[in-house]
Structure 1
């Protein structure tokens, strides 16, 4: 058993909220920290919805939910949030400057034995290790969205991470019901985002460039038996995270199409408050997205042919 019983999650967004709720459900004492009181209130509301999800999909009963809630606290004061933490999991926006500033602010507030992990989905732990002030006690611990069902976690070391840190963090992952995926070498994008980001970017390109509707892009993927397509995935990941990733790596690589895709996401979603599942609106409206409705993949009536043909661009 690990000694990591008191956990602080920095960031109450999509994944931060999930990590916090799930860790508490699995018996950890958890503090959720966010700089924004409004974000904390949104997280409380999302946790109320997770109670229903865990009842229906995980088999939780009323006692399980009550115990989970009892283990959760919420904070907007960083010093208080980390004062007793055995493990701090950083899940703030995927913006290097934001992460680095937070690590530097936190460095002098942590107890000596506290471990720190980043949930970064595309950056390397070595990018932030010096800023933590305890590089030997730092590594990457990357969760996947829908944590209760996609229960794997990617663990990445960096040159200064101690074997003890990696052992304890991996034990923690097992204790909260995660399948550990250890990376043998450092890799931007880890395992899942190495293939997922190009996949989502390709799907977004089809929409940005007017090649196909979001629904038709997702239809071509749902035929594989998946529960949702790439645009539905973006809604679940959250449009802010999608924008941050596409914008950063588009500029980093000089990829004009990726930058255009980031601009499309900003103009059509962020600027309109459509942040995905967390706000109930993204590419689809929730909790009843059209891709989950009967008939989404049905062959249309022949009377629909004129409408289908009308979308072809003239030569």
Structure 2
């Protein structure tokens, strides 16, 4: 397959914006699609914030960062966003029906050679692939939060994915500074979240059942394991919206209680995680 130079990112939330910036930093031409003019108008502020992180953590120069933002275009026109796409990465909320609806639109509008990737954290490619109309070109490319630091790119196809598409996406991940990880068989949560989700689920279990405070749960994990972050500090990076959607869709009584508490105590008050300055903790 030809080099995947033109990237379209669908959704400019925490991870969508990071993926776009990371790809542009490594020389890709990036179009970011989102649903409202207000969201698109706010993208330059996200690029400025990410520029600060790249200057701090990647020793990026002002010239590199200026070139990075120049490679990114934002739009609310999905047809225009997909017109020249070599590869699409979808980063919309973890809701299966929403993702199927979005992928039906993408599949109808994208060029015939475009490779389709979901950044879903928990859903299987085979759950979504048929919605695209082109399942042979559909697979998952999963990023960890703070992609410039935690730079794994987990690539996972489904039984009907063209092996050439898998190889192309593994190459793309490496080109944008990720460590490409080939997940050879469909696995909910890939490798990273298969390891991480039980920890975070255990932490929210302790919290929603009032066994211990957020601070004491985190303090226990950090002290006993030497980890730099406790589970709730990790959840603040993940973001409350993602935590809410995952628990809402899990279907157990406990997950429902976690979702309800997250919504009423955090999301409804605008406390959506570290990216907004407050989640379980407050950040400057």
Would you say 1:268 and 2:283 are equivalent positions?
no
1:87 match? 87
Give the CA deviation at 1:2. 5.6
1:279 match? 276
Structure 2 distance, partners of 1:191, 1:42, is 33
2:44 match? 44
Runs (4+) of structure 1 exceeding 6 A deviation are none
Structure 1 distance, partners of 2:187, 2:56, is 36
1:225 match? 226
Counterpart contact for 2:170–2:181, Cα < 8 Å: no
Give the CA deviation at 1:229. 1.1
Give the CA deviation at 1:112. 1.1
Aligned pairs (5 A) from 1:148-163: 148-163=148-163
Counterpart contact for 1:37–1:76, Cα < 8 Å: yes
Structure 2 distance, partners of 1:133, 1:37, is 28
Counterpart contact for 2:108–2:132, Cα < 8 Å: no
1:135 match? 135
Determine which structure has more spread, i.e. the larger CA radius of gyration: 1
TM-score (structure 2 length as normaliser)? 0.96
Counterpart contact for 1:13–1:43, Cα < 8 Å: no
Return 5+ residue gaps in structure 2 as ranges: none
Would you say 1:257 and 2:247 are equivalent positions?
no
1:104 match? 104
Q: 1:221–1:40: structure 2 CA closer, same or farther, 3 Å change rule?
A: farther
Structure 2 distance, partners of 1:88, 1:134, is 13
Between 187-196 and 122-131, report the one with greater CA deviation: 187-196
Structure 2 distance, partners of 1:37, 1:192, is 34
Counterpart contact for 2:34–2:76, Cα < 8 Å: yes
Structural RMSD (CA): 1.3
Give the CA deviation at 1:225. 3.0
Q: Secondary structure at the match of 1:153?
A: strand
Counterpart contact for 2:43–2:74, Cα < 8 Å: no
Return 5+ residue gaps in structure 1 as ranges: 288-315
Deviations 1:242-298 (A, max 9, x none): 11111111x1xxx222221121111111111111122111111113xxxxxxxxxxx
Deviations 1:78-121 (A, max 9, x none): 01111111000000010011110011112221111111100000
Q: 1:105–1:45: structure 2 CA closer, same or farther, 3 Å change rule?
A: same
Between 202-211 and 21-30, report the one with greater CA deviation: 202-211
Structure 2 distance, partners of 1:180, 1:61, is 26
